[in-house]
Amino acid sequence: MAYLQSKPKSETIELREKYIGGACQLFFRSTPLKIVRGIAQFMYDETGERYLDCINNVAHVGHCHPHVVEAGRNQMSLISTNNRYLHDDIVILAERLVKTMPGSLSVCFFVNSGSEANDLALRLARVHTKKKDVITLDHAYHGHLTSMIDVSPYKLNLPGGPEKPEWVHVAPVPDVYRGKYTYPNDSQSEEELGKLYADEVGKICKLATDKNGGVCAFIAESLQSCGGQIFPPDGYLKRAFEYVREAGGVCIADEVQVGFGRVGTHMWAFETQDVIPDIVTMGKPMGNGHPVAAVITTPEIARSFADTGVEYFNTYGGNPVSCAIANAVLDVIEEENLLERARRVGDHLLARCEALMHKHLLVGDVRGRGLFVGVELVTDRDARTPATAEAKHVVNRMREEKILISRDGPDANVLKFKPPMVFSTQDADRLVDTLDRVLSELDDQWRTPITNIKLEVLVTPINDQVESSDTSMKSSFKQSVKAM
């Protein structure tokens, strides 16, 4: 078969261990998967075994979507060069993106990754404000560049993480389940919790103003992903933005994980908080797996950057192939009505997950919007004690059932669901039915350390035969994404 790779899995593992840095993450490290093909919401290993992908927010419109593949292939056969030459695709893409933005967000810079986008956003903010102090949220992750690790407590908090720079200020994450201010509280509504968390940003702004004359920027993921699928309470961002702007800073919305309609009701997650940022960053889903990302800002901030006289150039950012692919992704989002699909399927998935709380004591909290859902596991609902070992066990058991999920959060106890946008209600039912069964296995022993349970990964070949032709690929894709 064309999709089968030539090296046996054991040799691939041996070569990876020899030549790839040990710090590079590998899912299921003790028994890793060798994934060689993907269609829509499914991935296939070297034996042809099919897995339901519930965590890939990069393959936004589905693995190997034919329209996206064809757009990249066609443009690659013509020209791929840098954006110092005129080309239609870059301006068409910029115009389409700007039309999705509110307010005066209308100037684009194209880069290669979300990390690069956030790095450039911070650079724009510093040039415009002429200040350095940056406010970030606890447990936030904004990328792997040195500048982004500096503002990513998700990495700074690790035992081996670098020391937090003096100019970085960490505000409490607005987590109303496990954070500084939580529900239920008879005297506090969600809006009041939002005010309490925003006031923490206000305190930092005051201190930075008193000491250094103000702040440079407030950077926040519109919905925190690596921090554990966190949804800010109503009014939080609006009030936080007011404090930051009063201190002379700009507000950066990191949409790298949750942009392009994942929330279902809006194209961008920051819109759910009724705010307009000064800078928006995006990446991951923008290219459906191809490295392309962008920064969108206001004419005023862009002008400050241009007035320095320092030319901005990115060798690959905005090249014709990347822009053709990103335009194709937008085509699919629009033509297949994926926002509405994310809303409809996401509502179904969330409701089914919420039902698990009434059946399994391990489920402490369920939260979500669109195809961005988190299920937090706890060993004590009153104390909200993180069920870290249990969450790890569940992820591995789900893998045995040919369903791929992940876990995250500061205690690694939050099950994360952020599948390709072509996820169907049938897929959601399969996911939750299987999770229900796996949790049931733990119901009688959930107070016993799960680390003592032996995990065995079963790999049973199936009869799915994946063709390599375009015709078969399109047919398979349509079959895979068929909704109820």
Q: pLDDT tens across 419-430, in order?
A: 999 999 999 999
pLDDT at residue 1 tops 70: no
Average pLDDT for 4-13:
80
Lowest mean pLDDT among 151-165, 209-223, 264-278, 344-358: 151-165
Beta-strand ranges (E) seen in 369-456 are 373-380, 385-386, 403-404, 406-408, 414-417
pLDDT at 185: 67
Mean pLDDT over 68-79 rounds to 98
User: What confidence score (pLDDT) does residue 460 get?
Assistant: 30
pLDDT for 479 equals 54
pLDDT of 459 > 80? The answer is no
Cβ neighbors of 318 (< 8 A, separation 6 or more) are 82, 83, 90, 110
Q: What is the pLDDT of residue 28?
A: 85
- Write down the pLDDT at residue 251: 98
Quick check: 416 and 349 in contact, CB under 8 A? no
Q: Which residue has the higher pLDDT, 169 or 7?
A: 169
Cα separation, 122 vs 167, in Å, equals 13
Tell me the C-alpha distance between 217 and 148, whole Å. 13
Domains and CATH numbers, the chain: 10-64+338-447 (3.90.1150.10), 66-336 (3.40.640.10)
pLDDT mean across residues, the chain: 90
Query: Which residue, chain included where needed, has tokens 């939750």?
Result: 432
Tokens of 124: 């724009």
pLDDT, residue 4, reads 52
479 contact partners, CB below 8 Å, separation of at least 6: none
Alpha-carbon separation of residue 231 from 139, 224, 365, 368, 372 (angstroms): 13, 7, 12, 8, 10
Q: Is the pLDDT of residue 296 over 80?
A: yes
Q: 446, 331, 466, 389: which is closest to 49 by C-alpha?
A: 466
Structure tokens at 33: 């998967």
Is pLDDT at 284 greater than 60 in this prediction? yes
Confidence tier at 187 by pLDDT (50, 70, 90): low
% of the chain beyond a pLDDT of 70: 90
- The per-residue pLDDT for 186 is 52
Q: Are 339 and 261 in contact (CB under 8 A)?
A: yes
pLDDT: which is higher, 198 or 16: 198
| Residue 237 predicted with pLDDT over 80 | yes
Tokens of 358: 């009434």
The DSSP code for 12 is H
Between 4 and 360, whose confidence is greater? 360
Asked if residue 25 has pLDDT above 90, the reply is no
Residue 388: which pLDDT band, with cuts at 50, 70 and 90? very high
> Residue 472 pLDDT more than 70?
no
If pLDDT is split at 50, 70 and 90, which confidence band does 307 have? very high
**E strand intervals along 14-94:** 35-39, 42-45, 50-53
**Residue 14 pLDDT class (50, 70, 90 cuts):** confident
* pLDDT the model gives residue 29: 81
pLDDT value of residue 274: 96
The stretch 399-414 carries a mean pLDDT of 96
What average pLDDT score do residues 172-192 get?
A: 86
pLDDT at 477: 53
